């Protein structure tokens, strides 16, 4: 199963300092539904970095990876080599924690289904994440859009100008403190 190999590869890449106590069900995600749901409810404080296996039926994706912006490129490269395609990139403004989260969605074209979500957090004052548009060309527009909406700077992006907003837009509408 691609899910397990990718998980293994990602875990090898970023040895989790504090092992997340989550022995996920290996293949059949549906079996561990209740157990997983409980675990999810328990998690209140911000997550530690690492790979989590999630229940597909409740959340809609299989692997949930959180890492530092510096580790992003290595993780994306693992997915690129494992024949994933890029689904989307977006941001989430966690204003209470003073952080911006960038969420990357990846999926696969074959029937060995595995959706991977990669999250990385960056401070709200100077949001900056390395670009992955050199690996996945399609990230180009997604990153520009995220830059439009959240003001996150993608280091090394070839053409970081507003895409959906007007050329001279200096506002970021999806920030929670945005006043129209």
Binding flag, residue 117, another protein (CB under 8 A):
yes
From residue 167, alpha-carbon distances to 3, 157, 162, 170 in Å are 41, 17, 6, 9
Instruction: Using CB under 8 A, pick the residue from 77, 137, 155, 156 that binds another protein.
Output: 137
2-14 burial, b for 16+ CB within 10 Å, e for fewer? bbeebbeebeeeb
Binding flag, residue 110, another protein (CB under 8 A):
yes
Going by C-beta distance under 8 Å and a sequence separation of 6 or more, which residues neighbour residue 64? 51, 52, 53, 54, 117, 119
Binding flag, residue 5, another protein (CB under 8 A):
no
Q: How far is the CB of 39 from another protein (least distance, A)?
A: 11
Which positions from 16 to 55 touch another protein by CB under 8 A, shown as an x/- string?
------------------------xx--------------
Asked whether the beta carbons of 100 and 108 are under 8 A apart, the reply is no
Number of residues counted as binding another protein (CB under 8 A): 39
Binding flag, residue 171, another protein (CB under 8 A):
no
Token pair of 81, please?
């080599």
53-63 burial, b for 16+ CB within 10 Å, e for fewer? bbbbeeeebbb
Instruction: Using CB under 8 A, pick the residue from 20, 59, 73, 82 that binds another protein.
Output: 59
| Binding interface with another protein (CB under 8 A) | 40-41, 57-61, 64, 83-88, 90, 92-93, 103, 105, 107, 109-111, 113, 115, 117, 136-138, 140-141, 149, 162-166, 173-174
């Amino acid at each position: 199963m691609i899910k397990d190999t990718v998980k293994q590869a990602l875990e090898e890449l970023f040895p989790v300092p504090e092992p997340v106590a989550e022995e996920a069900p290996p293949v059949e995600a549906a079996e561990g539904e209740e157990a997983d749901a409980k675990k999810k409810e328990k998690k209140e404080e911000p997550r530690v970095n690492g790979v989590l296996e999630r229940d597909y039926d409740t959340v809609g994706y299989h692997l949930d990876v959180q890492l530092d912006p510096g580790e992003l490129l290595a993780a994306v490269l693992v997915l690129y080599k494992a024949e994933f395609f890029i689904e989307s990139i977006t941001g989430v403004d966690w204003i209470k924690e003073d952080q911006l989260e960038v969420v990357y969605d990846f999926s696969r074209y074959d029937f060995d289904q595995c959706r991977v979500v990669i999250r990385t957090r960056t401070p709200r004052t100077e949001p900056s994440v390395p670009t992955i548009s050199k690996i996945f060309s399609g990230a180009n527009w997604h990153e520009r859009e995220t830059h439009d909406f959240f003001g996150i700077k993608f280091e090394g992006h070839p053409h970081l100008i507003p895409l959906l907003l007007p050329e001279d837009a200096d506002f970021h509408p999806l920030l929670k403190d945005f006043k129209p």
